[in-house]
Amino acid sequence: MQQVKSDIVDYLKANSFMDNNTSLKDNDSLTQNGIIDSIGLLELMDYICDKYSIEIPEDMLTPENFDSLQGITNMITKLAK
């Protein structure tokens, strides 16, 4: 689980969504903290599908699942089982 969070943070930093020195708490909102918007979400979804070889069902595309590190990690863990 920690590895997934670390992958997501690395991706966000590597693609300049956030600075190297920005710290992000598990439940911080990615959209409300100015890290991603709708285009960023699309890119993040692509990255997650490729990286974890999963398909994200339509009903899981919600803020609960995509707007925080914790939500994303929970969703990936559930789908990658």
Partner 1 sequence: MSKLVCKKCVLDSDIPGIRINEDNGLCHFCETYTPLSSQEKSEYLTKIEELFEQYRGKGKYDVIYALSGGKDSSYTLYKLKKDYSFLKVLAVQFDNGFTSEGAIKNAKKMCKITGSDYYQLTMEKEILYDTFRNAAESYDLFPKFAKYRASDICNVCITIIKQKLIEQAIIQKAPFIIFAFTAGQSPNPIINLSPNFIQWSRSLFKKQLEKIGVDDKDELFLLKSKVIENMGENAPSILHPLCLWDYSEDKVLETLLEIGWEQPGIADINSTNCTLNSFACYNHLEKYGFHPYAFDTAGLVRSGEMSREEGFEKINQELSKQLIEEAAKKLKLNVKNSQKILTTTI
User: Which residues of this protein are in contact with partner 1, per CB under 8 A?
Assistant: 14-20, 31-32, 34-43, 46, 58-59, 61-63
Q: How far is the CB of 18 from partner 1 (least distance, A)?
A: 7
Cβ burial, residue 57 (10 Å; 0-12/13-18/19+): exposed
Residue number with CB closer to partner 1 (3 or 20): 20
Residue number with CB closer to partner 1 (1 or 63): 63
Residue number with CB closer to partner 1 (26 or 43): 43
Taking a C-beta distance cutoff of 8 angstroms, is the pair 68, 5 a contact? no
Q: What is the CB neighbour count within 10 angstroms for residue 75?
A: 21
